[in-house]
């Protein structure tokens, strides 16, 4: 059993062959996939995909790139969608100070608001953090995000950030970049982290692992990320699959 804790099956890249993508995932031992709608226009599609396949669940939120687009209608719509039985978390929310597609102050405020919304809805959160490690941790602390828990998606922080997030009860999700030749610093961090705090993900269609780098990513490829984690930590692939799947079931509150 494996779980792809973060993908984007609602995106146009999967419109033509989604059935085949889901089938390949099943044949690769992927029992569950969490598809993440990151802006208002994608939420309905994410829910539709989740209801179309028993193995798929949805996560909904406003990505920091789109934080500037939030208006008075956004949160009422998001709140209603998040009450759907197949929506299991609020995300991906957070900060991106690398691309800065929304002003930083807007990102900070919208991040705080969405943590509050998740607490109101009793949902875990899925965090996007890129070059905003200190600010991300500070908001998680100040907004009492430990009360809802969640996942640091595509972890890119350092040892200090990892420890702070683990102390708040968050899980750290490992993407396909762990397989890249230039990812030695990342591999050293993963080596130190307890397996009991890790998830694996594809972020499909992005961050395709070796040996498929350069092609569209898809959930079946999460096996390659899990294999690399097993190699780094000196345990069996089966152990990584078992523990990361248990972790995903816990954080997303599936039986």
pLDDT attached to residue 95: 98
pLDDT attached to residue 22: 98
**What is the CATH classification number for the domain harbouring 230?**
3.20.20.140
Q: What mean pLDDT do residues 214-243 have?
A: 98
pLDDT attached to residue 255: 76
How many domains is the chain built from? 1
User: Which sign, positive or negative, has the C-alpha torsion 203, 137, 134, 143?
Assistant: positive
Domain hosting 182: range is 2-251
Q: Does the pLDDT value for residue 196 go beyond 90? A: yes
Q: Collapsing DSSP states into helix, strand and coil, what is residue 37? A: strand
- Residue range 105-152, pLDDT digits in tens: 999 999 999 999 999 999 999 999 999 999 999 999 999 999 999 999
**E strand intervals along the chain:** 2-7, 30-37, 56-60, 87-96, 125-130, 150-152, 171-174, 198-200
What is the value of pTM for the model shown?
Answer: 0.97
Q: What mean pLDDT do residues 233-241 have?
A: 98
Residues 6+ apart with CB under 8 A from 66: 38, 39, 40, 101, 102
pLDDT attached to residue 174: 98
Distance CA 242, CA 3 (A): 9
């Amino acid at each position: 059993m494996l779980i792809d804790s973060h993908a984007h099956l609602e995106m146009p890249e999967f419109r033509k062959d989604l059935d085949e993508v889901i089938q390949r995932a099943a044949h690769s031992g992927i029992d569950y996939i969490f598809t993440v709608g990151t802006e208002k226009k994608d939420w309905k599609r994410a829910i539709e995909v989740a209801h179309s396949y028993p193995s798929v669940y949805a996560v909904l939120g406003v990505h920091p790139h789109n934080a500037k687009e939030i208006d008075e209608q956004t949160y009422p719509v998001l709140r209603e969608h998040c009450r759907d039985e197949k929506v299991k978390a609020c995300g991906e929310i957070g900060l991106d100070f690398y691309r800065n597609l929304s002003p930083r102050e807007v990102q900070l405020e919208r991040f705080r608001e969405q943590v509050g919304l998740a607490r109101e809805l009793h949902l875990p959160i899925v965090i996007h953090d890129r070059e905003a490690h200190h600010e991300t941790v500070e908001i998680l602390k100040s907004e009492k995000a430990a009360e809802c828990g969640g996942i640091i998606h595509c972890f890119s922080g350092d040892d200090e950030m990892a420890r702070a997030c683990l102390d708040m009860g968050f899980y750290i999700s490992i993407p396909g970049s762990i397989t890249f030749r230039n990812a030695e610093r990342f591999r050293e961090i993963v080596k130190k982290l307890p397996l009991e705090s890790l998830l694996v993900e594809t972020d499909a269609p992005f961050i395709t692992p070796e040996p498929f780098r350069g092609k569209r990513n898809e959930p079946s490829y999460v096996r390659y990320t899990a294999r690399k984690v097993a190699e780094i930590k000196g345990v069996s692939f089966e152990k990584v699959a078992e523990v990361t799947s248990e972790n995903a079931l816990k954080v997303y509150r599936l039986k």
